[in-house]
Amino acid sequence: MKKVLLLTSSLFGDNGNSSQLAAAFKAEVADKNISLTEKDLVALNLPHLDAAELVSWMTPAEQRSEEQAALAQRSDLLIEELLAHDVVVLAVPLYNLGIPSQVKAYFDRLERAGVTFKYTEQGPKGLVEGKKAVVLAARGGVYAGTDWDSQTPHLASLFGLMGISDQRFIYAEGLNMGEEKKAEAIGSAKAEIAELVAAL
Ligand SMILES: Cc1cc2nc3c(=O)[nH]c(=O)nc-3n(C[C@H](O)[C@H](O)[C@H](O)COP(=O)(O)O)c2cc1C
């Protein structure tokens, strides 16, 4: 059975447009032989990454203080969870041309040298193998395929650094450009989601 980790990250919870795309994904997988783990990155409420947490990673496990062990566990458990799934689906809004800070805080716990990637003479090499990433992107304006879309390459690199190069991006754009455009964008994103799930 395929295991899917479905991440949501709208400030508006279930009412977010990106959450609507996540709900469409969930509805599509409901009658499939797929196990789904849902995680709301806003509710997870991770703090900014700080020096104490970084130092906890660099301290050998057997030498960690109790506080360091707890700090290192935050990232360890999130990486363990990622590794336990075959597909990670990230439903993500575009906020100020980027990813929500909660999504950044999550990736800050996943991107660990020596654990999820390593440095080599040829540059960084991902250590996470055999996974697929799907991004369901909700945006007020229209940016995909233009120089203004800095979110797509950022997410592609964040997944790519860990070795997750099998990626699919589905966009619902122009959501703040009138009801007609919004309905059309959500409708076509949902159709793409259905086609994607059928091929999973
Ligand atoms: C704080 C904030 C910043 C936003 N910044 C942008 C932006 O830079 N570009 C854009 O096209 N839309 C922007 N929007 C609109 C959102 O991308 C759009 O409403 C999208 O549906 C948000 O997804 P959500 O409903 O899942 O939260 C912004 C919305 C908010 C709340």
Which residue minimizes the CA distance to atom 2 of ligand 1?
95
Q: What is the mean pLDDT of residues 7-20?
A: 98
State the distance from the centre of ligand 1 to the C-alpha of 189, rounded, in angstroms: 17
Query: What was the pLDDT predicted at 103?
Result: 98
Query: What was the pLDDT predicted at 154?
Result: 98
Which residue minimizes the CA distance to atom 19 of ligand 1?
140
Query: What was the pLDDT predicted at 23?
Result: 98
Percent over 90 (pLDDT), the chain? 99
Query: What was the pLDDT predicted at 5?
Result: 98
Report in angstroms the alpha-carbon separations of 9 from 38, 99, 145, 170, 198.
Answer: 11, 9, 23, 16, 24
DSSP H or E run through 41: helix 41-44
What is the β-pairing status of strands 87-93 and 2-8? parallel
pLDDT band at 168 (very low <50, low <70, confident <90, very high): very high
Query: What was the pLDDT predicted at 185?
Result: 98
Give the CA angle between residues 92, 95, 96 to the nearest 5°: 150
Query: What was the pLDDT predicted at 120?
Result: 94
Query: What was the pLDDT predicted at 119?
Result: 94
Give the pair of three-digit tokens for residue 185.
């964008």
Q: How high does pLDDT run on average in the chain? A: 97
Q: What is the mean pLDDT of residues 44-48?
A: 98
Q: What is the mean pLDDT of residues 52-73?
A: 97
Which residue minimizes the CA distance to atom 31 of ligand 1?
95
pLDDT band at 93 (very low <50, low <70, confident <90, very high): very high
Give the pair of three-digit tokens for residue 148.
């203004």
pLDDT band at 74 (very low <50, low <70, confident <90, very high): very high
Q: Which domains does the chain have, with CATH numbers?
A: 2-198 (3.40.50.360)
Each residue's pLDDT tens digit, 109-147: 999 999 999 999 999 999 999 999 999 999 999 999 999
The response to whether residue 13 sits with its C-beta less than 6 Å from ligand 1 reads no
Query: What was the pLDDT predicted at 136?
Result: 98
Backbone torsion region of residue 114, taken as left when φ is above 0, otherwise alpha when ψ lies between -120 and 50, otherwise beta: left
